[in-house]
Amino acid sequence: MEEIYRELVKIVGERFVSNQPEERFLYSRDPGTMEPHAPDWVVMPNTTEEVQKIVRLANRQKIPLVPMGGGLVLSGLSRPLQGGMVLDMKRMNRILEVNEASSYVVVEAGASQGMLQAYLKKHHPRLKHSIPDAPPIATIGGNVLIHGSGHLSAAGGFHSEMLNGLEVVLPTGEVARIGSCSASPYWFSRSPLPDLAGLFLGWHGTTGVVTKLAIKLFPARPWNDVGIFVIEDPELAPDIIRRLARVQVAEDILAWMSPKPDWAKGFQMINIAYGAETKAELTLKRDLIRESVRPYLERKVGGFMPLPPDMKVRFLEAPQSTLAVFADVNKGGGFEYVGAIMPVELFAPAFRKGLEIAESRKVPYSLGARIVGLAHCMMFFYAYAFNRADQADVRRAQTALEDTNAMVLEMGGIPWKAETPAQKQIIKKMDPNTFALMNRLRAVLDPQGIMNPGNWEA
Amino acid sequence: MSELKYDQKICTKCEKIDCLTRCQHIALDLEEARQEWMKILAGRDSRVLHECLTCYACEEYCPYHNHPFYLIVDRQEELSAWPVPVPLTKQQIAMMAPKGQIVAQKVSAPVINLCSFPMLAGSIQGKLFAGASIIGGNDLFCNIMWLHFAKNSVIRERLPKVINNLMDYYLKVSGVDELICFHDECFGTYTQLAPAFGIEVPFKPIHLFEYLTKKLTELKKEIRPINAKVAYQRPCSNRLVPETQHWVDEIFKLIGAIRPAREYEGENALCCGMVVQAAQRDDRADAIQKRNLDDMAAVGARYCVFNCPMCFMTLKGMVAERGMTPILISDLCRIALGEGFWG
Ligand SMILES: Cc1cc2nc3c(=O)[nH]c(=O)nc-3n(C[C@H](O)[C@H](O)[C@H](O)COP(=O)(O)OP(=O)(O)OC[C@H]3O[C@@H](n4cnc5c(N)ncnc54)[C@H](O)[C@@H]3O)c2cc1C
């Protein structure tokens, strides 16, 4: 053990490695409900070369290695289930290149959402990236690799779809580049080469350590607005969402259903955020959005909330702070959600069943759905808050999450960034050949089985 | 449930049907207006019920004070001719519901009622309001807003309780019998709507404008004239109490503000557009707002002054984009007193 520590110190320096109980405690858990698992070492590399050396060391010694960004995934994916090293990527946070002409940015994987947002605002105010509603310290790498979604997902799909390319340290220590950057100085796209990015997306750090990545940027427009469409019948939601999305004007479409504040209970609110270069264009877009749902307006079964500009400001914030505020509603800072990727047509049953679970389990809840693409699918979230210092409360939330994962799978959805028990449930439903292929690929990439073991295992 | 005090005979004999022929938003000649009004009187459906933008103006246009607007709203509700989509209406009803959080409090005159805008408390300061007690919150919300939502039933249900709250929690316990209505809506509610709905008001409502006039007169020596052209955004509720309009002129005179003649003021005033947006008619709201702002700009106004906080919030950005300063009337008076302003 001591020898490994000394080796790590040699690689990253004493300040950036720890085997002390404080760090081992902190890195053993996340804000969700999953049981803590302590690492033996926490190490913070600064360069791709350092990552390579650490991976090689782990390989030689057959030590489990768990890459971690912000550690905010909530479902415990960066807890080292079998001990070993947690590789905290936050020092690798450089913003390496912004290509204005081709609208992309190359960053180190540990660059945070907040840093990139601030950097672009300052240096490239006409460009922005699709920011998730996660706390700003969440990393670009961690989020893209789990197929995150955010404020430009109606325009650009999942964040993994906005990935142009990456640099990865393979579990055996080699560095590989994926996408155009493997054959060109530009990081413009994953096409037209064989798309190897899929070997690292959705794998929860079991196939390599991503050190750099390029993501698409989008216009940051000077004029911005949000419409909030309100209905009280979830059965109407899929058609309304489809109509709103297919106008191809929205940057983000987010439905939210919450028992608090009182006026929100029983209604489904759909926020449609959009931007424009001029006020006239903004008005035109507003009219297009409105026109798309005209039949519902005429039937008076839905409508846009009349909000003066001041009252819209908080709905235009990116990231939105509402979920973060909800996260601490029971105090004690416990918060987790099932994010279910599913077709939009399942909106009504997804909503009703979520409500049933939350109410029967008596957990504070906030439900919602972020629309991905032109309503090609949605990330339906079931967020439950709990007090981490109250074991009964934690257990209640855990049961609600388990029930929700099972319900989602039964309905035909798939839990996103699933906890290990939910991963097992997914695997049970999965075509066995698919799972066999996953295992074969993993064995090839990671012959020693060191990468985040315990994940995607039957 | 309290019956609306209107006299059908007056309408049957009416020759000019001002309520509809003068409507700013629905084009009707005299004959069409008569036909539509007869339908409304008979409790039948009429295009008016569906096209009404709920601007309140017909309440002012009726020379007999026979409450045509309240009748329209009653009929809209009876016939489910909802001006605003149903979920939005229900949501607003939930949002503005009494919170039951009120606690009895000793107050002393002058008592300023901020209604459902307690967040404007910062504007109640300085010499104009020295020694004032401030009250407000959803439990004191005058509820007149439901006229825009075809929900007179909510007014009938909630308004008497609000009046009781005002009396039981503040006025009676403090031996105060006057209430300064910061918002024109409250004054309209307590002096005109409540009697029309047969609801008793046991205190004396005083309009903010009257209060300001009195205070400014007392402080006359300290006034530094504004010396600028000021456009006034008349709130829809002022249609219920047009007799209060002269106070605006008096305030302007006292603070040395110039009120240029505008096309859209007085009986011809235009709505701020918020309720038109609630009725999902943004195109109409845009057009109304543009005419209104063009008119303010055309007379060279430097300020646009508001009484209604909702008009203020709706129009302030657009007013500022046109190079004018949007401001609440109390704040404009405070500027004249050399106090700067809050908003
Ligand atoms: C209040 C709140 C709101 C949220 N809203 C959103 C939202 O709107 N959209 C959204 O997508 N998410 C959201 N999330 C979920 C989550 O926080 C984010 O997705 C976050 O971006 C995850 O990034 P991270 O850096 O914290 O990842 P981590 O939790 O550190 O890691 C996630 C997974 O990726 C692996 N990993 C991390 N970095 C690397 C790397 N460099 N190489 C290989 N594998 C790696 C880890 O091992 C782990 O399996 C929210 C969370 C909270 C608390």
In a domain, A437, yes or no: no
CB contact under 8 A, B94 and A301: no
What is the count of structural domains for chain A? 3
DSSP A333-347: EEEEEEEEEE-GGGH
Ligand 1 contact, A323 CB (< 6 A): yes
CA of B154 to the centre of ligand 1 (A): 47
DSSP state at residue B144: G
Pick the last residue of a domain from A73, A88, A103: A88
Taking only the tens place, the pLDDT of each residue in B135-147 is 999 999 999 999 9
In a domain, B88, yes or no: no
Give yes or no for B115 touching A (CB within 8 A): no
Whether A68 shows a pLDDT value over 90: the answer reads yes
Taking only the tens place, the pLDDT of each residue in B245-273 is 999 999 999 999 999 999 999 999 999 99
In a domain, A428, yes or no: no
Question: Do A210 and A313 have their domain in common?
Answer: no
Give yes or no for A94 touching B (CB within 8 A): no
Question: Do A179 and A229 have their domain in common?
Answer: no
Q: What is the average per-residue pLDDT within A156-167? A: 98
How far is B79 from chain A, CA to nearest CA, in Å?
Answer: 14
Residue B168 is part of a domain; what is its CATH number? 3.40.50
Chain A partners of B283 at a C-beta cutoff of 8 Å? Answer: 287
Taking only the tens place, the pLDDT of each residue in A283-310 is 999 999 999 999 999 999 999 999 999 8
- What predicted TM-score, i.e. pTM, was given to this entire model? 0.96
Ligand 1 contact, A418 CB (< 6 A): no
CA of A202 to the centre of ligand 1 (A): 11
CA dihedral angle for residue A18, residue A24, residue A29, residue A35, rounded to 10 degrees: 150
Chain B partners of A311 at a C-beta cutoff of 8 Å? Answer: 313
DSSP state at residue B337: T
pLDDT of residue A335: 87
Greatest pairwise CA separation for chain B in angstroms: 59
Residue B106 confidence class, pLDDT cut points 50, 70, 90: very high
CB contact under 8 A, A303 and B97: no
What is the count of structural domains for chain B? 3
Residue B343 confidence class, pLDDT cut points 50, 70, 90: low
Question: Do B208 and B233 have their domain in common?
Answer: no
Ligand 1 contact, A257 CB (< 6 A): no
Pick the last residue of a domain from A219, A239, A259: A219
Ligand 1 contact, A145 CB (< 6 A): yes
Give yes or no for B91 touching A (CB within 8 A): yes
In a domain, B83, yes or no: no
Cis ω on the peptide bond leading into residue B63 (within 30° of 0)? no
Question: Do A402 and A390 have their domain in common?
Answer: yes
pLDDT of residue A324: 78
pLDDT of residue A305: 97
Q: What is the average per-residue pLDDT within A87-95? A: 98
Question: How many angstroms separate the CA atoms of A430 and A349, rounded?
Answer: 22
Q: What is the average per-residue pLDDT within B306-314? A: 96
In a domain, B90, yes or no: no
Report phi then psi at B209, rounded to 5. -60, -40
Q: Name residue, tokens 């700009």.
A: B297
Share of chain B above pLDDT 90, in %: 94
Whether A249 shows a pLDDT value over 60: the answer reads yes
User: Which of A287, A300, A311 is nearest residue B82 as measured by Cβ atoms?
Assistant: A300
Helix (H) or strand (E) holding A189: none
Pick the last residue of a domain from B149, B177, B212: B212
CA of A278 to the centre of ligand 1 (A): 35
In a domain, B342, yes or no: no
Whether A450 shows a pLDDT value over 70: the answer reads yes
CA of A316 to the centre of ligand 1 (A): 22
Residues found in chain A: 458
Q: What is the average per-residue pLDDT within A259-275? A: 94
CA distances from B56 to A331, A441, B12, B183, B193 (A): 47, 71, 21, 16, 12
Q: Give the A window 258-297 contacts with B, CB below 8 Å.
A: 261-267, 283, 286-287, 290, 296-297
Q: What is the average per-residue pLDDT within B156-167? A: 97
User: Which of A232, A296, A310 is nearest residue B90 as measured by Cβ atoms?
Assistant: A232
CB contact under 8 A, B90 and A302: no
Pick the last residue of a domain from B158, B180, B212: B212
How far is B313 from chain A, CA to nearest CA, in Å?
Answer: 6
Residue-averaged pLDDT of chain A:
96
Question: Do A373 and A243 have their domain in common?
Answer: yes
pLDDT of residue B342: 60
Residue A323 confidence class, pLDDT cut points 50, 70, 90: confident
Question: Do A155 and A234 have their domain in common?
Answer: no
Short-list A232, A237, A255, CA closest to B94: A232
Q: What is the average per-residue pLDDT within B191-197? A: 97
How far is A124 from chain B, CA to nearest CA, in Å?
Answer: 26
How far is B95 from chain A, CA to nearest CA, in Å?
Answer: 5
Share of chain B above pLDDT 70, in %: 99
pLDDT of residue B341: 66
Question: Do A307 and A209 have their domain in common?
Answer: no
Residue B304 sits at the vertex; the CA angle it makes with B300 and B310, to the nearest 5 degrees, is: 150
Report phi then psi at A339, rounded to 5. -105, 115
Helix axes B282-298, B309-321, angle to 10 degrees: 70
Question: Do A234 and A290 have their domain in common?
Answer: yes
Whether B2 shows a pLDDT value over 90: the answer reads no
User: Which of B91, B280, B286 is nearest residue A283 as measured by Cβ atoms?
Assistant: B286
Q: What is the average per-residue pLDDT within A304-325? A: 90
Question: Do B228 and B326 have their domain in common?
Answer: yes
B183, burial (CB in 10 Å: exposed 0-12, middle 13-18, buried 19+): buried
Question: Do B190 and B271 have their domain in common?
Answer: no
Question: Do A183 and A291 have their domain in common?
Answer: no
CB contact under 8 A, A232 and B317: no
Question: Do B120 and B15 have their domain in common?
Answer: no
pLDDT of residue A332: 82
In a domain, B270, yes or no: yes
Residue A72 sits at the vertex; the CA angle it makes with A70 and A75, to the nearest 5 degrees, is: 140
Which atom of ligand 1 lies nearest, measured to the CA of A109? 41
Residue A55 is part of a domain; what is its CATH number? 3.30.43.10
Cα distance between the two ends of chain A:
30
Domain boundaries, position A43? 2-88
Question: Do B287 and B233 have their domain in common?
Answer: yes
In a domain, A212, yes or no: yes
User: Which of A262, A308, A310 is nearest residue B274 as measured by Cβ atoms?
Assistant: A308
**A15 token code pair:** 């300040």
Question: Do B137 and B240 have their domain in common?
Answer: no
Residue B1 confidence class, pLDDT cut points 50, 70, 90: low
Ligand 1 contact, A73 CB (< 6 A): yes
Chain B residue with minimal CA distance to A231?
B87
Whether B340 shows a pLDDT value over 80: the answer reads no
pLDDT of residue A76: 96
How far is B311 from chain A, CA to nearest CA, in Å?
Answer: 9
Domain boundaries, position B205? 95-212
- Segment among A236-250, B1-15, B45-59 with least mean pLDDT: B1-15
User: Which of B84, B94, B95 is nearest residue A303 as measured by Cβ atoms?
Assistant: B84
In a domain, A273, yes or no: yes
Amino acid at A9: V
What region, left, alpha or beta, does residue B260 occupy, with left being phi > 0 and alpha being psi -120 to 50 degrees?
A: beta
